């Protein structure tokens, strides 16, 4: 990655729909160069995709929630007959409606998911649904209603 790549990334991070021609003009390079660079950045996994940033409140979601999940030890270690691990829980989480991010973690908990809930009742339903995933032992919920700061380049939270 060089300075040109970084500038292309910067422009797309601010507006993913900017035309390649406009980027080319602003950086004083040819549109083909921009296209080639963009494709290469995608191929090498630097750019993982693009998305629209929605204001959850405007579409009826009033609680953003972090679910901190503990898996039961059997599901982390697995056993010969039943080789299960937290990847199964991770897969289930990310296919749940309104879960927008999920990851395995090291530290206080085993997995973390971030989701959007309409209201407290909806939050309860989501928590219960996660609790029913096989291997989930405990869930700690931390939720917020007002977003303070975000850097959308890495995650959409």
Partner 1 sequence: MARGTQVDKIDVNILRALQRDARHNFADIAKSCSVSTDTISKRFRKMKKAGIIRGTTILVNPKSFGYDCVASIGVDVRLPRLNEVVELIQTIPGIVFFTTSIGREDIFCIAVLKNVGTLSQIKELIKGHPLVRNVTTTIWVDEILLCPENFEFNHLKEE
Q: Report the interface residues with partner 1, using CB under 8 A.
A: 1, 9, 12-17, 44-62, 64, 66, 68, 87, 90, 94, 96-109, 112, 116, 118-119, 140-144, 146-157
Residue (44 or 81) nearer to partner 1, CB: 44
Residue (74 or 150) nearer to partner 1, CB: 150
The H-or-E segment that residue 10 falls in is helix 3-14
Least separation in angstroms between CB 92 and partner 1? 11
Q: Which residues, listed in sequence order, are joined to residue 66 by a DSSP beta bridge? A: 114, 142
Residue (79 or 149) nearer to partner 1, CB: 149
Sequence-ordered list of residues with C-beta below 8 angstroms from that of 129, at least 6 positions apart, any chain: 96
Least separation in angstroms between CB 4 and partner 1? 15
Distance CA 140, CA 13 (A): 33
Residue (29 or 100) nearer to partner 1, CB: 100
At residue 126, the 3 state secondary structure works out as helix
Q: Which residues, listed in sequence order, are joined to residue 137 by a DSSP beta bridge? A: none
């Amino acid at each position: 990655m060089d300075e040109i790549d970084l500038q292309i990334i910067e422009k797309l991070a601010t507006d993913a729909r900017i035309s390649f021609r406009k980027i080319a003009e602003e950086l004083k390079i040819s549109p083909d160069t921009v296209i080639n660079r963009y494709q290469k950045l995608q191929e090498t996994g630097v750019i993982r995709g693009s998305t629209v940033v929605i204001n959850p409140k405007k579409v009826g979601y009033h609680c953003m929630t972090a679910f901190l999940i503990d898996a039961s030890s059997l599901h982390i270690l697995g056993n010969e007959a039943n080789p299960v691990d937290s990847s199964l829980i991770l897969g289930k989480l990310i296919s749940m409606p309104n879960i927008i991010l999920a990851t395995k973690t090291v530290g206080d908990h085993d997995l973390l998911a971030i989701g959007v809930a309409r209201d407290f009742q909806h939050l309860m339903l989501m928590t219960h649904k996660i609790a029913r995933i096989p291997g989930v032992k405990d869930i700690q919920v931390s939720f917020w209603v007002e977003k303070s700061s975000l850097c959308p380049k890495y995650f959409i939270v």
